[in-house]
Amino acid sequence: MKLGREERAMLDGRHGPARREALRQQMEVGRFFDAGDFVEVAHVHLMADTESLGESGVEWLEAISRLPEPERRVRVPTVTDPRGIDFCAYRKLRQEERMAALERRAIAAFESMGILMTDTCINYQSVLPPVRGEHLAYGDTGSTIYANSVLGARSNFEGGPAALCAALTGRVPRYGCHLDERRRGTHLFEVRHRPRTWSDWGALGAVIGKRTGDYWTVPVIAGIDGAPTSDELKHFGAALASYGSVPLFHMVGVTPEAPDLARVFEGVPPDPVRIDPQDVDAFYASFGRHEDEVHVVVFAAPQLSLVELKTVADSLAGKRVHPRTALLIATSPEIKAAADRMGITATIEDTGAILLRGVCFYQMYARELGRANGWTNLLSNSAKLVNIVSGYGYRPVLATTEACIEAAVNGRM
């Protein structure tokens, strides 16, 4: 790989051992993907929940945090993905003290590096929205696909160690979504029915994602009449990335790099794949129903925006969550503070629901949560979440926001 003067200085160890090792790792990644050089990034979004880190991962972070002050500090603004512990709620959820202790150690190490503990997967809706053409190092799949597709920024999926390397060096290898040629459409999907609900948008993303399944695929969606909302695109993109492993999509007439078919494909588009309402209906039906009781209803993955929280609060107002059903709602610290100020938190928690701050369900030791609380039957309006949690011992079902709230109140679907 071609190295600039500053990159050679890092590789030579003139900026300390952490940056040297970070650049070495990035060079190996760059060679694997045939990257010719590095590109500077504007900021980093870091996934590093303690369930994934474990003891050894936290010890690695602590080793970096013990380096002298200039050597351990990140070079570009770096924000964090949701954590695994909400310190105001973890005992109520029967999470173990060892989990909280490990979380505190990780947070201390991050803070010593100058990392901003935003604890959110919806940073693009709250603390640090990217701009078109900006190069980034994003870890969370939902935030990456939103930044790439809806905002026109540029990032590959950068896992926890890779994102931390980017934070220390301020660079990533130039491949994948950083290149113009990798951002052109490869497959065309023609949607015959506009989704109505957030869960419908997620289901549509899942249906298209299951028909891609390749990181280098760039699906182009045609047939959407009028711009979807930020939350609709959030659910669509998160599900598409979860089911399809793709970091970028284009929506004709909606997203910034797809003004029309000719330009997004740079020529004649391929034959379209039709997505009919029946395809979305079949996706819902694939999860079945919980004919008996619902143990836990979860609104998370992605965290909820202020608009989503208000919608949930209005639907819950004056009701009471069933005593045998848990209702968990996750949002970012910034939105939680706004919800507190506006009375939304009080409305939600007066019903017996739990509003979680700075966490996301599947990153909260979900398997252990289920065992500790006797949860198996799970209901959610997030297509991304129901894709993930079956691997943690749950029987998930996808439903609309309204159906989820009704089940939380009645204790069954």
> Which DSSP helix (H) or strand (E) runs through 396?
strand 395-398
Q: What is the CA radius of gyration of the chain?
A: 21
Instruction: Tell me whether domains 5-180 and 288-410 share a fold.
Output: yes
pLDDT at 41: 98
The full set of domain ranges for the chain reads: 5-180, 184-284, 288-410
So what's the pLDDT on residue 291?
83
What angle is formed at CA 138 by the lines to CA 136 and CA 141, rounded to 5 degrees?
140
Q: What are phi and psi of 44, to 5 degrees?
A: -130, 140
Residues 288-410, CATH architecture: 2-Layer Sandwich (3.30)
pLDDT at 267: 82
Distance of CA 399 to the CA centre of its chain: 20
What residue type is 143 in one-letter code?
S
* 3-state secondary structure string across 85-135: CCCCCCCCCCCCHHHHHHHHHHHHHHHHCCCECCCCCCHHHCCCCCCCCCE
CB atoms within 10 A of CB 352: 17
Output the pTM of the full model.
0.97
Strands 187-191 and 219-222, bridge-based pairing: parallel
Domain 5-180 has CATH 3.40.50.1100: no
What tokens were used for 13?
């160890």
- In angstroms, the CA 214 to CA 274 distance is 19
For position 178, what pLDDT does the model report?
98
Q: What tens-digit pLDDT sequence spans the chain (413 residues)? A: 999 999 999 999 999 999 999 999 999 999 999 999 999 999 999 999 999 999 999 999 999 999 999 999 999 999 999 999 999 999 999 999 999 999 999 999 999 999 999 999 999 999 999 999 999 999 999 999 999 999 999 999 999 999 999 999 999 999 999 999 999 999 999 999 999 999 999 999 999 999 997 899 999 999 999 999 999 999 999 999 999 999 999 999 999 999 999 999 988 899 999 999 999 999 999 999 888 899 999 999 999 999 999 999 999 999 999 999 999 999 999 999 999 999 999 999 999 999 999 999 999 999 999 999 999 999 999 999 999 999 999 999 999 999 999 999 999 99
**What pLDDT shows up at residue 110?**
98
pLDDT at residue 207, rounded to an integer: 98
